[in-house]
Each structure stands twice: as C-alpha cells, then as structure tokens.
Amino acid sequence: MAQLAEELERRMEELRAEIRRAVIAGDRARASELRRRLRATDREWEEALARLAAPQAPGGPGPGAGPGPGADAGEPAGRRGGALLTVRERVHQALTLLGAPAAPRLIVAVYEAFYAGELPAARLTSLRRDEERSFRSAPHARPYYLCAALSADLLAPARGLLAVSTWPMERRVIGPLSPRVDYLTAAIGVAERLLATGQPPAAARRLLWRFAVNIPGAASGPAGLDPGQVAAAARAELAVHADADAAHRAAAARRALDQLDSAGQLFGGGGLRLLRGGAAR
C-alpha cells in the first residue's frame, strides 16, 4: 500500500507538469482533461493513505493511529476505519474531496457529511498559522501542508480560504472568476463522491442540495436530487468560466513562483514581493 501511495504521488507530479505544458501551449481541452485525471488520482491517493492508517489487527492500533510528527499531543482526533486522525488530516481529507480552496465552514460540513466523527470548527481558526510556523521551522518536513489560498492581485492570503500545498499554484491562487469556478469544482467533487457511495448519508445529500440550488439546471427539488445531474449542470457552467479563470490563475501563478520564496508561495507574501533569496523587491 505504501508503494501504491508513492506511485500515485509520482503520477500526480507528472500530471501537474503535463497540465502546465498544456496551459502554456493553449490546449484548453487537454488541460481540462488532465485536471479531471489529477482530481481522480488525488482521490485515489487519499484513499490509499486512509488504508495505510487503518489498524493491522481488529481492535489494535495501526500505523498512524497516534499523532504524527508535529501534531499536538492533545489534539482532538476523529476515526475513520478505526484509525485516529488529527485535525489537519481530517481537513486534508475534506479539501481533497472538494478539489478546491475552501472556507472552514464548508470544510467542516464536508467532513461531517462524508466521514465518521466530527471536525471542531474552532481548531481551524489557528490551523493555518500552526502550519506556517511548522513550515518555517522545518521547511518541507511534512508530505503536505494546509496553506493559504493567495489572491491573484496581491499574492497575499485570501481571507478565510484553506488549500493544500501539494496542489499546483494555479489551483491555489484566486482570481476574479475563481470563487465561482471553485464552487462548481467543489459541487462536482461532492456529487461524484455521492455517486461512488452506495447509500450516501442524509447529511451528504443535504450538502449536495445546498450546492445544487445555486447551479442552474442542477435540481428541481430535494426529493428528485440526482448527483449525476448536479455534476453535469456544474460542468456545463464550468465550461463557460474555465478558460478565462485559468488564464488569470496561470498569470498570477507565474508571478507567485517568480516573486515569492517557498514560504510565501504557501502562506502569502503579506503584501511584500519577495525574491527567492529572501530580499524584498
């Protein structure tokens, strides 16, 4: 299982490189298809990690059952498949399902709708700051960090939005059209998870309904809610905005990679343009 996770990580890196090449070449159709494949691979990777964290014997502690390196010893943890998960791991699961930067309120709703256990909203308020302190004290020591989404204009943290450090920069910057694009992307992620779930919990269907009511053609009423219809309606509108949004994000991503140091690329430049050597421009 560990080998599978490593193979999926390598595949995600290859897909990100292919997406960059497709965007630079102006091949929008291929870039869109590659993004879809990247989201699918990302979900496979998350499931592989969850299986790795499961106990090896019934009722016994398994790998990852305790707090991981850098986790708070007294940090509340949830359970999935019998394995203890830290708050940051639960947030990572929810963001991976959504596939786009999200606010804490949505992250909590997604986790509690699809995974066993609770996610205390109060812990999310300081989570990004904790992650930044961890990164600055030991850069790249963790396989991923929960970081800030960055505003495309100032390359500063976008208020209240969390992202995952392993996502390409283009997904972590927020341009004028990005909030709507990310909303549609998240709706597709939720709909696809419901389609993959034999008997989705009521909370998950309610969550999808909250998305559907703001997407034209997604649903006629809660009783007739069809995840496939919601996903199709979201993709139809996404096609209208995707190219313009991708162009804004690609331009902002190039500036961020050029102007910000490694910490700034994850947590924002605070209004300062930083050279890679650390000096302010």
Radius of gyration of the chain from its Cα atoms, rounded to whole angstroms? 19
Q: What is the pLDDT of residue 280?
A: 40
In the predicted structure, residue 278 carries a pLDDT above the cut 60: no
Cβ(137)–Cβ(234) below 8 Å: no
pLDDT single digits (tens) 234-275: 999 999 999 999 999 999 999 999 999 999 999 997 544 434
Residue 64's pLDDT is 35
Question: What per-residue confidence (pLDDT) applies to 26?
Answer: 83
Mean predicted confidence (pLDDT) in 33-60: 66
Instruction: Tell me which of 196 and 14 has the higher pLDDT.
Output: 196
- The rounded distance, in Å, linking the Cα atoms of 96 and 279 is 34
For residue 147, list its beta bridge partners.
Answer: 163
**What are the CB-based long-range contacts (under 8 Å, 24+) for 52-55?**
52/1, 52/2, 52/5, 53/80, 53/81, 53/83, 53/85, 54/81, 54/82, 54/83, 55/81, 55/82, 55/83
Res 147 pLDDT > 90? yes
This prediction has a pTM of 0.69
The pLDDT tens digits of the residues spanning 257-266 come to 999 999 999 9
pLDDT classification of 80: cutoffs 50, 70, 90: very low
Statement: residue 132 has pLDDT above 90 = yes
Model confidence at 137: pLDDT above 50: yes
* Tens digit of each residue's pLDDT (9 = 90 or more) over 186-215: 999 999 999 988 778 889 999 999 999 999
Q: Percentage of the chain with pLDDT > 70? A: 80
> Given its phi and psi angles, is residue 99 left (phi above 0), alpha (psi -120 to 50 degrees) or beta?
left
Q: For the chain, how far is it from start to end, CA to CA, in angstroms?
A: 45
134 sits in which H/E element: helix 127-137
Average pLDDT over residues 155-184: 96
Confidence category of residue 53, pLDDT binned at 50, 70, 90: low
Query: Worst-scoring range by mean pLDDT, 65-69, 170-174, 188-192, 261-265?
Result: 65-69
* pLDDT reported for residue 12: 77
pLDDT at residue number 84 = 64
Q: What is the pLDDT of residue 118?
A: 85
Model pLDDT, residue 49: 67
**Per-domain residue ranges for the chain?**
1-53
What SS3 state is found at 243? Answer: helix
